[in-house]
Amino acid sequence: MERQVTDMSPEKFRELFPIFLVKHDDNWGTQYAAMEKALKEALRAFAVARISHVGSTAIPGILAKNIVDIMAELAPGEDMERAAEAIEGLGFVRKYTEPGRIFLRLGYTEEGFAKEVFHLHLRYRGDCDELYFRDYLRENPAIASEYEALKQRLWRQYEHDRDAYTEGKTAFIRKQTEAAKAAYGARYV
């Protein structure tokens, strides 16, 4: 296994891991399925409510970063810290921890991106706005196209600034997520 980046200056990180968008790749679903299986095994001692493929790689037909986003929702009361440690056993590196949320990544090597790259969002059941957003874009191709165009503009502007790229998408994502919740009700509670 390639050595994962655990500590690097922000400047070097931005240069080594720029924002990039590629055409939709059906292999992302295969990568997700393999990682879902590995996660289920790693988390077998925990009550896992749901594991889901989220993010742009889960929305057919739009450009995306070649990074498969996964959300794992634990049942309330589960020890999230211990679950994160089990995930780290798969090679994932923790990026941040905040109340009720841990973000980990895999595939950020000292030489750049690995062949397969994953972001893992560890949450408690019901903290799943990403599912509403994903399904709303899947079911509304015009909105998915709008999102793709926004991402392309931001990519050109913030190729080496992930935080600005992400912040630039926030208002659009919130607006569509709220529309999805209004349309779907309590679909993912």
CB 92 within 8 A of CB 76: no
pLDDT in tens, 111-157: 999 999 999 999 999 999 999 999 999 999 999 999 999 999 999 99
**Which residues does the chain have with pLDDT short of 70?**
1
* pTM of this prediction exceeds 0.85: yes
Tokens representing residue 15 in the block? 């240069």
Place of tokens 């941040």: 96
pLDDT, residue 1, reads 57
Structure tokens at 11: 């400047």
- Read off the amino acid at residue 62: I
